[in-house]
Amino acid sequence: MFIIGNGRLVTRDLAAPFYENGAVAIEGNVIRKVGETKALKEEFPQAEFVDAKGGVIMPAFINTHEHIYSAMARGLSIKGYDPKGFLEILDGQWWTIDRHLTNEATRQSARVTFLDSIKNGVTTIFDHHASFGEIHDSLFAIEDAAKEFGLRTCLCYEISDRDGMDKARESVMENAAWIRHALTDDSDMIAGMMGMHAQFTISDATMELAAANKPEEVGYHIHVAEGIEDLHHCLKHYGKRIVDRLMDCNILGSKTLLAHCIYVNPHEMELIKETDTMVVHNPESNMGNACGCPPTMEIFHRGILTGLGTDGYTQDMTESYKVANVLHKHHLCDPNAAWSEVPQMLFEGNAKIAGRYFKKPLGVLKEGAAADVIVTDYIPRTPMTKDNVNSHILFGMTGRSVVTTVCNGKILMKDRELIGIDEEKVLYEVRKEAEKLAHSING
Ligand SMILES: [Zn+2]
């Protein structure tokens, strides 16, 4: 048992949201108690004490849309790549990379993504994977890395017909094998979804194959209307809008997660709401790909469960928070937009989304919740209260503020030092693999 205390404690538990000098007592992989530091120390005198040194103690971050496969793109220059639009970004960069990924390259991409996630205080990751260079067992290669680093993951493989029907079938089967594996695992550390790229690269036949191989306990994780091209394709080939096609293919539902939703209309939002389907917003990626600004504020105001992801851009959830905050103000010409919606997406939405796949409560510090806790070294310059916590996070913290990360009751990083992981060695091995990948792509 150990106690993390002597810090400003943000619990995200409405019953007791903030302690000026608070502590969390952790026993095994759950939280035993939350309270004043002095009281907890007296109640559990034998517990080891981890000193937060006046920093902020809060629930670890959850990332509900990530792409491990993109990890080795940093600094990579692909010969002839000069995109004029979103489809050229996909084909020229992301599909080019994933066509060259072996399972070893996938594993190394996962290792460096997880390393960076720990350093940014993220302990639960919903990944959306593609590696058409080697599909079979690729999700299990990611699991190897997740176990090595001690993080919680919900994985899927993005089904697509883009490289032919044999690979589409293989990607369905990889999802099915992974989901079966995750459903029989009782660690509460892994979960699976039926991954899908986007409707414009998936035929009805492949949709049917996926449905036939999907256990009913899980849903889909799919990109929706990320580019206007996706909508045009659907109207042209199916005579209907994207969410209507997904409805007709029985994709929507409370376990299904739709990424982006930029080009969706009010009718489609109604379908998403009626079916209790989840949405994840990725502001930085949408801006970077010049895809447009999604109507996320409207989606949120309609009561649709909405989370915040990074789409592989970063492992720093505060970066997504900062970008979403200014994106919607800018786009709507409304200085009042997004103040409360974005932190609700990050802290409540992501926790609820995770709650649909994991048993123990995540994103909250209270008795019985998962022991996923972070400490940041942030010392406020103005009074910090239960009512202005999010403003302190938005304007005062970055992922680099995280000094200690605990996942499932295990300390993975303490005072910025990774525990049991040789960071230099990991980065050396990842760089070697990235060099191989660049050579494989550019010859
Ligand atoms: Zn994505």
The domain ranges of the chain are 2-59+361-418, 61-355
Q: How far is the CA of 301 from the centre of ligand 1 (A)?
A: 23
| Predicted local confidence at residue 320, as pLDDT | 98
Q: How far is the CA of 320 from the centre of ligand 1 (A)?
A: 14
Q: How far is the CA of 67 from the centre of ligand 1 (A)?
A: 6
Q: How far is the CA of 312 from the centre of ligand 1 (A)?
A: 7
| Predicted local confidence at residue 273, as pLDDT | 98
Q: How far is the CA of 24 from the centre of ligand 1 (A)?
A: 34
Give the pLDDT confidence of 230-249 residue by residue, as tens digits: 999 999 999 999 999 999 99
Q: How far is the CA of 413 from the centre of ligand 1 (A)?
A: 28
Give the pLDDT confidence of 314-353 residue by residue, as tens digits: 999 999 999 999 999 999 999 999 999 999 999 999 999 9
Q: What is the mean pLDDT of the chain?
A: 98
Q: How far is the CA of 70 from the centre of ligand 1 (A)?
A: 10
| Predicted local confidence at residue 361, as pLDDT | 98
| Predicted local confidence at residue 15, as pLDDT | 97
Q: How far is the CA of 387 from the centre of ligand 1 (A)?
A: 33
Q: How far is the CA of 198 from the centre of ligand 1 (A)?
A: 10
- In CATH, the number for domain 61-355 is 3.20.20.140
Q: Which ranges of the chain have pLDDT less than 70?
A: none
- Three-state SS across the chain? CEEEEEEEEECCCCCCCEEEEEEEEEECCEEEEEEEHHHHHHHCCCCEEEECCCCEEEECEEEEEECHHHHHHCCCCCCCCCCCCHHHHHHHHHHHHHHCCCHHHHHHHHHHHHHHHHHCCEEEEEECECCCCCCCCHHHHHHHHHHHHCCEEEECECECCCCCHHHHHHHHHHHHHHHHHHHCCCCCCEEECEEEEEHHHCCHHHHHHHHHCCCCCCCEEEEECCCHHHHHHHHHHHCCCHHHHHHHCCCCCCCCEEEECCCCCHHHHHHHHHCCCEEEECHHHHHHCCCCCCCHHHHHHCCCCEEECCCCCCCCHHHHHHHHHHHHHHHHCCCCCCCCHHHHHHHHHHHHHHHCCCCCCCCCCCCCCECCEEEECCCCCCCCCCCCHHHHHHHHCCHHHEEEEEECCEEEEECCEECCCCHHHHHHHHHHHHHHHHHHHHC
Q: How far is the CA of 163 from the centre of ligand 1 (A)?
A: 18
- In CATH, the number for domain 2-59+361-418 is 2.30.40.10
